[in-house]
C-alpha cells in the first residue's frame, strides 16, 4: 500500500520513526507535545500488553511496538482515515504485526487483559468520549494495570479517574496534565465504597 501524505520524523528514547499522515488527523505536522510528555514518562516491559486507545495515525502504538514487540500492541480508532494511516505507518516502521482495529472506543473491540492503556483523548469536546474511555478502559485492564491519559484539562479528569480507580497521580508540563491510574480491584472505587 502506498499513500502520499505529510511526512514527519519522531525520535524518542533511541527509537526513530518516520510517519505519514494528513491534515484531517490530530497533530499532522509534528509529534504532539502531550504525546511526547506521555511517552517520556512510561516504562514499558516486553511482558506488557498495551492498547493505544484513539490511536490517530499510530505514533504511540508504533513507538511502543518498537520497544516491546509488535505482537503485544493493539491500536484502535473510530476514524477510517486514522486506521488507514496507522496500518501504513506500522508497515513503514517494520511493526506490521501490531493489531489495528476500527472501533468507536471499546464498542466494537473485544480484546482485554491489558497491562497498559495509553490515550490522548479528544479533550476539545464534551466529556462523553473521555467518560467511556475511562470506565470501559478500567474493565479491559488486568488488576495492577495502568491507564495513562494526557490532556489540557485537569479537574474533570482527576475527579472521574479517582471515582473509578480510587486515586490518580498527576504530572504537569507546559499546560499538559498526565494522569496515571492503577486498577486495584475488579470494581470501580465508587461502587466498592458503596458495597462496603
Q: What is the pLDDT at residue 28?
A: 86
pLDDT for 119-167, tens place per residue?
A: 999 866 679 999 999 999 999 999 999 999 999 999 999 999 999 999 9
Q: Is residue 49 part of a domain?
A: yes
> Burial, 110: exposed, middle or buried (Cβ in 10 Å; 0-12, 13-18, 19+)?
exposed
For the chain, the farthest-separated pair of C-alpha atoms sits apart, in whole angstroms, at 57
Provide, rounded to the nearest whole percent, the portion of the chain with pLDDT above 70.
Answer: 93
pLDDT at 195 over 60: no
Task: Report the mean per-residue pLDDT for the chain.
Answer: 93
- Is residue 3 a part of any domain in this protein? no
Task: Please report the pLDDT score of residue 3 as a whole number.
Answer: 63
Query: Is 134 inside a domain boundary?
Result: yes
Poorest-pLDDT segment among 7-21, 120-134, 181-195: 181-195
More confident residue, 194 or 6: 6
Asked if residue 16 belongs to a domain, the reply is no
Examine residue 11 and state whether it is found in any structural domain, yes or no: no
Range of 110's domain? Answer: 32-195
20 found inside a domain: no
pLDDT one-digit tens code per residue, 62-108 = 999 999 999 999 999 999 999 999 999 999 999 999 999 999 999 99
Q: Which helix (H) or strand (E) holds 99?
A: strand 99-102
Query: Is residue 14 assigned to a domain?
Result: no
Of 155, 141, 82, 144, which is closest to residue 111 (Cα–Cα)?
Answer: 141
> pLDDT tens digits, residue range 25-71?
999 888 999 999 999 999 999 999 999 999 999 999 999 999 999 99
- Does residue 2 lie within any of the structural domains? no
**Residues 76, 53: Cα–Cα separation, whole Å:** 6
Would you state the pLDDT for residue 191? 60
Interior CA angle at 160 toward 155 and 165, to 5°?
Answer: 130
What b/e string do you get for 63-73 counting C-beta neighbours within 10 Å, with b at 16 or more? Answer: bbbbbbebebb
Find the CATH number of the domain harbouring 102.
Answer: 3.40.50.150
pLDDT of residue 5: 81
Quote the pLDDT of residue 190: 77
Q: Structure pTM?
A: 0.93
- The domain tally of the chain equals 1
Confidence of residue 24 (pLDDT cuts 50, 70, 90): confident
Amino acid at each position: 500500500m502506498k499513500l502520499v501524505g505529510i511526512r514527519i520524523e519522531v525520535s524518542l528514547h533511541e527509537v526513530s520513526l518516520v510517519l505519514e499522515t494528513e491534515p484531517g488527523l490530530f497533530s499532522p505536522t509534528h509529534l504532539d507535545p502531550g504525546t511526547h510528555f506521555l511517552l517520556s514518562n512510561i516504562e514499558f516491559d516486553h511482558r506488557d500488553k498495551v492498547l493505544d486507545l484513539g490511536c490517530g495515525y499510530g505514533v504511540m502504538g508504533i513507538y511502543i511496538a518498537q520497544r516491546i514487540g509488535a505482537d503485544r500492541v493493539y491500536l484502535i480508532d473510530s476514524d477510517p482515515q486514522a486506521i488507514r494511516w496507522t496500518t501504513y505507518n506500522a508497515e513503514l516502521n517494520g511493526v506490521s504485526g501490531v493489531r489495528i482495529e476500527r472501533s468507536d472506543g471499546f464498542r466494537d473491540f473485544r480484546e482485554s487483559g491489558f497491562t497498559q492503556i495509553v490515550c490522548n483523548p479528544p479533550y476539545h469536546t464534551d466529556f462523553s468520549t473521555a467518560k467511556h474511555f475511562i470506565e470501559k478502559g478500567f474493565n479491559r485492564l488486568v488488576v495492577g494495570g495502568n491507564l495513562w491519559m494526557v490532556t489540557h484539562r485537569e479537574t474533570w479528569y482527576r475527579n472521574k479517574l479517582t471515582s473509578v480507580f480510587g486515586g490518580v497521580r498527576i504530572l504537569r508540563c507546559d499546560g499538559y496534565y498526565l494522569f496515571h491510574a492503577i486498577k486495584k480491584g475488579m470494581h470501580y472505587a465508587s461502587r466498592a465504597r458503596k458495597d462496603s
